[in-house]
Amino acid sequence: MSTTATTTKGGHAATGSHVATATVIPPPATKPAAPEAPALLAVGGLGDLLDPDAIQGTRFSGPLLSGAAEDGAAGIVILHKRAKITFSHGNFSVPIRFPPSTILDKYLVQLQQTYNGTTPKINIGTTLNGLDVANVDVSVAPTQLQNPIATILPGSWTLYLSQVLGGSTAGKATVLIYYSVPAKTVQS
């Protein structure tokens, strides 16, 4: 086969002739693509575990005080940290930081969808991937459980929330950690 081609090189036209032979090779037979596993969401901190159903809230700069302060001390509202966890977050361990002198009260786990892996767990501990505060089996039927926390926070005032999937491809839970912090009324 003989062809004539005109090309532009450096702004100048050039004409040339060459002989080319082409061999047609059929494309290889394609196999149907396997379904892709869902992409895991990267979890870098507790802020990555916000509940997608959350409503707009009001942020206060300190703990809420309630009641009369006849003896110089009003009541302090119990606070909690909340995380919505699903299998799509993958395995993770994230720090949860508390103010100094925090007293932990209890944790609550609401399992909305059973995790289907081999021994999947949600853990709460005083070290990375620790489980000295809680070690919750999430392979059971949807349920809600709460337990007191007897652990005293270490000087770092940090707990770690962890998820170990064990191969789970389904599962969803909400975790609440209740705590109290010291507060005082500022006289103006």
Residues in the chain: 188
Is position 173 within any domain? yes
Is position 188 within any domain? no
Instruction: Output 50 or 187, whichever has higher pLDDT.
Output: 50
Which residues, at least 6 apart from 64, have a Cβ–Cβ distance to it below 8 Å? 76, 77
What pLDDT is recorded for position 6? Answer: 45
Per the structure, the complete domain to which residue 76 belongs is given by 46-52+68-180
What pLDDT is recorded for position 188? Answer: 53
What pLDDT is recorded for position 126? Answer: 96
The mean pLDDT value for 42-53 works out to 79
The mean pLDDT value for 145-171 works out to 94
- Cα gap 51→133, rounded to integer Å: 23
Domain total in the chain? 1
Here the CATH number for the domain that contains residue 154 is 2.60.120.340
Of the given ranges (13-22, 91-100, 132-141), which has the lowest mean pLDDT? 13-22
- In tens, the pLDDT along 60-75 reads 767 777 777 676 667 7
Q: What is the distance of C-alpha 76 from the center of its chain?
A: 30
Is position 172 within any domain? yes
> Where residue 7 falls among pLDDT bands split at 50, 70, 90?
very low
Is position 158 within any domain? yes
